[in-house]
């Protein structure tokens, strides 16, 4: 039988729980519902998409199954994690309360309703539900950042609003209301997500690395950081909006080189004994790989799809599995040490990236089995996350604190 924790002050009467701890733990902070929802989507939708692609299942939608898959991975899976992360991080950045309880529940249900509507509702209903979440989250977080005078993080809100626009353009194009290829809006969405990842990784990965490595010094000149982010943004803009050619090729090679140098300056070799840290370094390594492949795609050496999945599976999938384990451990009062289950999940996601990106690039005759195996390893990774973390994210923190 479970007993309530003792009062904070000995001898104090605990007639009722502290106000902050009232309510369902699942809705006390944004990472809880959004991390679990995104993991469930990743676990179920990717294997089903591969079954459809290989002809073993059917999916009757208003858009092609390929567009559905790409959109749901970007604006369902990745955007859901980003929303959960920011709804959690902004509370730490500002000291102000982010949505919880009923309000957080409405946001989570809105995200879930869009995922269901994608396969079960008329397309306009799906589009309306889907485009609503990101602008609402952006406005909520913008108000909190302005109230706290936290202007450093306003660019992230700008990228979130641009992501909302890209999503809206996709749906308008898919409905024939805009004369724009829907895939171009998806590329723009992926580019914006990569920019968010590059900005946030530059803040946290070197800090995390220094914090656990006594004596390690990581001093990266601000001019180098700005040049790296500028080259990254320029290469992505050219890829999305400019015709394939030598200018985009050169920009992608510059971005690949600068991001590889950036990663090396973070001293990735010191992280081998800390899986919760090396997964972040390994995932970021896919950024220069993605740009190198994107450069090669400009002259037809590899397909654009190979480069896209380097960013989508390697970088985005890897950083997500790394951060949803690390932040969930921290915000549930658990040590920041990966157990065997997490290490397995990390290895599976990195394996999925190799299978989806490198195997088709060097051995296209193995394309179909590589896709099937990549989808399987990806799904198992997020199934492991669900098994381990669902009990943690639906219960009060171990230390009894709010969050």
The answer to whether 249 and 298 are in contact (CB under 8 A) is yes
The domains of the chain, with CATH numbers, are 25-393 (1.20.210.10)
Nearest alpha-carbon partner for 312 in 187, 167, 161, 170: 187
- Are the beta carbons of 315 and 287 closer than 8 angstroms? yes
Measured CA to CA, the distance from residue 257 to residue 264 in angstroms comes to 11
Rounded to the nearest angstrom, the gap between the alpha carbon of residue 145 and the centroid of all alpha carbons in its chain is 21
- Whole-Å CA distances, 361 to 11, 185, 251, 356: 67, 25, 21, 9
Token digits of residue 240 = 């999305």
- Contact (Cβ atoms closer than 8 angstroms) between residue 101 and residue 23: yes
What is the predicted pLDDT for the residue at 364? 87
Q: Give the global pTM.
A: 0.92
Q: What is the mean pLDDT of each run of 10 residues along the chain (403 residues)?
A: 34 39 85 97 96 92 94 97 95 93 96 96 96 96 95 91 96 96 96 95 93 90 96 98 95 98 96 94 98 96 95 97 96 93 97 95 90 97 98 93 84
- The residue among 32, 34, 23 whose CA lies nearest residue 108 is 34
Per-residue pLDDT at 20:
54
CA dist., res. 242 & res. 233, Å (int): 13
């Amino acid at each position: 039988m479970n007993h309530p924790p003792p009062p904070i002050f000995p001898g104090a009467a605990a007639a009722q729980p502290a106000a902050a701890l009232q309510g369902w733990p699942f809705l006390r902070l944004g990472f809880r519902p959004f991390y679990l929802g995104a993991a469930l989507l990743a676990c179920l939708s990717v294997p089903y998409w591969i079954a459809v692609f290989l002809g073993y299942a059917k999916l009757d939608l208003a858009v092609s199954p390929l567009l559905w898959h790409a959109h749901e991975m970007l604006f369902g899976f990745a955007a859901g994690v980003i929303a959960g992360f920011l709804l959690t991080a902004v509370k730490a950045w500002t000291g102000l309360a982010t949505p919880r309880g009923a309000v957080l529940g409405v946001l989570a249900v809105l995200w879930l309703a869009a995922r269901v509507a994608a396969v079960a509702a008329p397309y306009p209903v799906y589009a309306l539900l889907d485009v609503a979440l990101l602008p609402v989250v952006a406005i909520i977080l913008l108000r909190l950042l302005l109230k706290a005078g936290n202007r450093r993080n306003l660019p992230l809100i700008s990228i979130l609003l641009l992501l909302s626009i890209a999503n809206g353009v996709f749906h308008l194009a898919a409905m024939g209301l805009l004369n724009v290829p829907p895939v171009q809006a998806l590329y723009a969405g992926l580019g914006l997500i990569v920019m968010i990842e590059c900005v946030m990784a530059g803040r946290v990965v070197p800090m995390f690395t220094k914090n656990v490595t006594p004596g390690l010094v990581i001093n990266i000149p601000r001019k180098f950081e700005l040049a790296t982010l500028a080259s990254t943004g320029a290469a992505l803009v050219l890829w999305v909006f400019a015709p394939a050619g030598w200018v985009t090729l050169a920009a992608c090679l510059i971005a690949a080189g600068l991001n590889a140098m950036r990663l090396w300056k973070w001293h990735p070799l010191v992280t081998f004994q800390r899986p919760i840290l090396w997964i972040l370094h390994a995932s970021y390594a896919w950024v220069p790989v993605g740009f190198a492949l994107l450069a090669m795609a400009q002259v037809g050496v590899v397909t654009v799809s190979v480069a896209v999945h380097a960013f989508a599976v390697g970088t985005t999938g890897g950083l997500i599995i790394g951060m949803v384990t690390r932040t969930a451990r921290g915000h549930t009062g658990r040590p920041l040490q990966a157990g065997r289950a997490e290490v397995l999940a990390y290895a599976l996601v990195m394996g999925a990236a190799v299978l989806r990106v490198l195997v088709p690039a060097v051995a296209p005759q193995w394309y179909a089995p590589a896709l099937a195996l990549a989808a399987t390893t990806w799904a198992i990774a997020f199934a492991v996350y669900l098994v381990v973390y669902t009990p943690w994210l639906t219960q009060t923190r171990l230390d009894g604190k709010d969050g």
